Amino acid sequence: MALDARIRELGNRHQTLERLIHDEMRRPSADELRLKELKRQKLRLKEEIESLRLRVH
């Protein structure tokens, strides 16, 4: 069950990053460097989530 909890935690962080990216993109002069870093973090989380899911199944 610990893996399930970790996957949920990472999923929540992934959703938070999705909102931050969306908010940043809506700004008139979006910070491209910040966007790039947020997207990189989101991708890392997605990869970690997928890796954990493979270990559960």
Q: What is the pLDDT of residue 44?
A: 98
Q: What is the pLDDT of residue 43?
A: 98
Q: What is the pLDDT of residue 54?
A: 94
Q: What is the pLDDT of residue 51?
A: 96
**Are the C-beta atoms of 14 and 44 separated by less than 8 Å?**
no
Give the relative orientation of helices 2-26 and 32-56 as an angle to the nearest 10 degrees: 160
Count of structural domains, the chain: 1
**Mean confidence (pLDDT) of the chain:** 95
Tell me: pLDDT of 1 over 90.
no
pLDDT, mean of residues 9-13: 97
Summarize the chain as % helix, strand, coil (round to 5).
Answer: 90, 0, 10
Rounded-to-integer distance, Cα 28 and Cα 47, Å:
30
pLDDT, mean of residues 17-24: 98
Domain of 29 in residue numbering reads as 2-56
